[in-house]
């Protein structure tokens, strides 16, 4: 393909959906261990208990790939307003719903005399940040309300920047890139260190930069695929299957060596390994076919709900235990099994009754406004 811009590519890549679902469960395992201080089946899940949080970087890379594939096309890239509204319709309904649920549950917990569960910045200021989906880009004092939603915030902001970029003319895109480079150089020379706490180059939120790096890697991977750089290979399909397993094994081994506070190198390594997973899965045959099994694809379909529902469910467990004055042993396998069974069930319900209807409703309202504006 001679042009970066392309016609719309139809159809989902089901194997990628499945990977998203599995990665979401990996993040849930990390929070299960960290928030409940429990590690059932540690012999199996230790890499996720140690560093499941790093799988958020896989989400960023996959998001960059998928959104570039969907939006950077001849027919869609210039429709900035419609594209932004489409992203809001996709992300906001469930984000808003879980924000309200967590606010209510934390209020119930604290009004009963207990301390807030895990995330303590649950005041009016942080509620407004969450309401505007800017709770993870540098304005926050710390994690608040539905804490894992910080990554949804950074991704939303990066999405908007990307959509504005592809809607611009070639000249403006060049200006944006040069301006960004100049700003980075100025920030670098004015800073004493590249990363200092939660700031990069002294000013930028570290988590936002983390998202930008992962998302940008996904963009480059999709453009490489679009230009045919991943299409030509003399390797047989079984070799690609072997490479997929090797890269995933390397990722799990790497996570097993990490600790709760990763270094910059850790994030960069996981971003690179995530890109390799996507590239090799795309070329594989048997692994790709396995990932297209309906149960795994189902996990991918509800992965956004899994990600945003898992902390509210943890909080619900804590509230019930507080009010009923009972103690749950989260290291017990039946309790863990109950938690994950409820998580999958609730995620399916929120996907079916919150995510999808909310997206349809917001898109219909947008279409109705467009028709009204076009009417004589």
Per-residue model confidence as pLDDT tens digits over 276-318: 999 999 889 999 999 999 999 999 999 999 999 999 999 999 9
Whether 204 has a pLDDT exceeding 90, the answer reads no
Alpha-carbon distance of 84 to 90, in angstroms, equals 10
Summarize the confidence of residues 217-221 as an average pLDDT.
Answer: 93
Residue 3 lies in a domain: no
- How far apart are the C-alpha atoms of 92 and 304, rounded to whole Å? 11
Residue 33 has pLDDT above 60, yes or no: yes
Q: Quote the tokens at residue 351.
A: 């996907």
List alpha helices for the chain, DSSP H: 14-36, 42-51, 55-71, 80-111, 124-131, 150-167, 170-190, 206-226, 237-256, 264-283, 286-291, 294-301, 303-324, 333-350, 356-374
Report the mean per-residue pLDDT for the chain. 88
Domains of the chain: total: 1
Based on the number of CB atoms within 10 Å of its own CB, is 141 exposed (0-12), middle (13-18) or buried (19 or more)? exposed
pLDDT class for 8, splitting at 50, 70, 90? very low
Write out pLDDT tens, residues 322-345: 999 999 999 999 999 999 999 999
| Structural domain range at position 290 | 14-374
pLDDT at 368 over 60: no
Examine residue 176 and state whether it is found in any structural domain, yes or no. yes
| First CA to last CA distance, the chain | 42
How far CA 167 is from CA of 4, 74, 277, in Å, comes to 13, 10, 29
For residue 6, being part of any structural domain is answered with: no
Task: Classify 69 as helix, strand or coil.
Answer: helix
Tokens of 88: 């809001």
Do 274 and 221 meet the contact criterion of CB atoms below 8 Å apart?
Answer: no
Q: At residue 375, does pLDDT exceed 90?
A: no
Q: Which of 20-29, 147-156, 362-371 has the lowest mean pLDDT?
A: 362-371
- pLDDT for the residue numbered 178: 75
For residue 259 the two structure tokens come to 């600790």
8 A C-beta contact, residue 187 and residue 203 = yes
And the tokens for 197?
């706490």
> What is the distance between the alpha carbons of residues 227 and 67, in angstroms, rounded to a whole number?
16
* 149: in domain: yes
- Is 2 a member of any domain? no
Judged against a pLDDT cut of 50, whether residue 373 lies above it is answered with no
Tell whether 174 is covered by a domain.
yes
Residue 54 burial class via C-beta count within 10 angstroms: exposed 0-12, middle 13-18, buried 19 and up: buried
Residue 294 lies in a domain: yes
Question: Minimal CA–CA distance to 87: which of 205, 95, 216, 143?
Answer: 95
The answer to whether residue 123 sits within a structural domain is yes
């Amino acid at each position: 393909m001679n042009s970066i811009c392309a016609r719309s590519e139809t159809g989902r890549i089901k194997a990628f959906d499945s990977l998203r679902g599995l990665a979401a469960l990996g993040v849930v395992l990390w929070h299960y261990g960290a928030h409940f201080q429990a590690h059932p089946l540690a012999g199996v899940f230790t890499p996720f208990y140690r560093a499941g949080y790093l799988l958020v970087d896989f989400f960023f890379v996959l998001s960059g790939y998928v959104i570039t594939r969907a939006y950077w096309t001849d027919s869609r890239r210039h429709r900035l307003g419609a594209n932004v509204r489409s992203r809001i319709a996709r992300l906001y309904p469930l984000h808003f719903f879980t924000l309200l649920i967590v606010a209510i549950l934390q209020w119930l917990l604290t009004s009963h005399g207990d301390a807030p569960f895990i995330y303590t910045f649950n005041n009016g200021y942080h509620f407004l940040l969450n309401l505007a989906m800017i709770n993870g880009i540098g304005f926050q004092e710390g994690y608040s309300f539905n804490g894992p939603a910080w990554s949804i915030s950074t991704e939303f902001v990066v999405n908007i920047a990307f959509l504005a970029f592809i809607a611009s003319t070639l000249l403006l895109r060049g200006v944006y890139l040069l301006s960004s480079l100049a700003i980075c150089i100025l920030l670098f020379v004015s800073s004493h260190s590249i990363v200092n706490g939660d700031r990069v180059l002294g000013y930028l939120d570290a988590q936002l930069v983390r998202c930008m790096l992962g998302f940008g890697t996904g963009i480059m991977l999709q453009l490489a695929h679009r230009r045919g750089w991943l299409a030509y290979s003399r390797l047989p399909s079984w070799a690609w299957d072997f490479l997929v397993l090797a890269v995933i094994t390397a990722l799990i081994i790497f996570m097993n060596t990490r600790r709760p506070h990763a270094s910059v190198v850790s994030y960069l390594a996981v971003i690179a390994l995530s890109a390799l997973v996507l590239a090799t899965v795309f070329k594989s045959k048997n692994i790709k076919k396995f990932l297209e099994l309906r149960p795994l694809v189902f996990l991918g379909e509800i992965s956004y709900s899994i990600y945003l529902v898992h902390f509210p469910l943890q909080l619900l467990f804590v509230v019930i235990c507080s009010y009923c004055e009972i103690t749950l042993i989260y290291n017990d396998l039946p309790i863990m099994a109950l938690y994950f069974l409820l998580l999958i069930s609730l995620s399916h319900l929120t996907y079916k009754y919150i995510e999808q209807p909310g997206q349809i409703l917001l898109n219909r309202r947008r279409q109705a406004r467009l028709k009204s504006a076009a009417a004589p």
